[in-house]
Amino acid sequence: MRGLIGFLALLVVLVSCGASKNTHHNNTTSTHINESQRNLVSYFKGVPTSKMKNRLKNAEALLGIPYKYGGTTTDGFDCSGLVCKVFEEKNIKFPRRSIDQAQMGQAIPTEKIQPGDLLFFATSGGDKVSHVGIAKEIEDTGEIKFIHASTSKGVMISSLSEKYWNKAFLFARRTDN
């Protein structure tokens, strides 16, 4: 019985918050989109507001912190716990689960994503939200990079141009800029 509970707990961790088949991520991702990927780019060319720059700076300060299921502190974060922490530092209260966070703010089309917008993913396939990240920057090419808590690498930067995240991406929402 104890082994079954341990197995089920491990299964939940791997399915939630972006268990990735490709665990090689780094800060210098390729912008090459192959034919089977969606062209997920933003045409945002502006500058984030000072409020958003501060929020992103707070998120960047958490890079490298390990993944921890249910984590909401610098001891470890899961994806929704990271979002809660980043927004909490600016006195904005967010729901604890990514599926509930997906109801916050207003829906925006991919091509209008700006730094600070929330990106939602279905990491288990289908269309059910199971992961969230915060858009960090829009490259000159339109590539969208985001900060999130990955089960394999902890708090890190990834790109919607990466095959895994490109396939899992569902939609974006803007809470306040």
131 part of the active site: yes
**Catalytic residue from among 17, 24, 32, 148:** 148
Q: At what angle do helices 79-88 and 50-60 cross, to 10 degrees?
A: 130
* Torsion, CA 156, CA 158, CA 164, CA 166, rounded to 10: 140
**Catalytic residue from among 17, 24, 84, 131:** 131
* Torsion, CA 166, CA 20, CA 116, CA 111, rounded to 10: 0
**Catalytic residue from among 17, 25, 32, 79:** 79
* Count of other CB atoms within 10 angstroms of residue 147: 23
* Count of other CB atoms within 10 angstroms of residue 26: 9
79 part of the active site: yes
Residue positions annotated with a catalytic role: 79, 131, 148
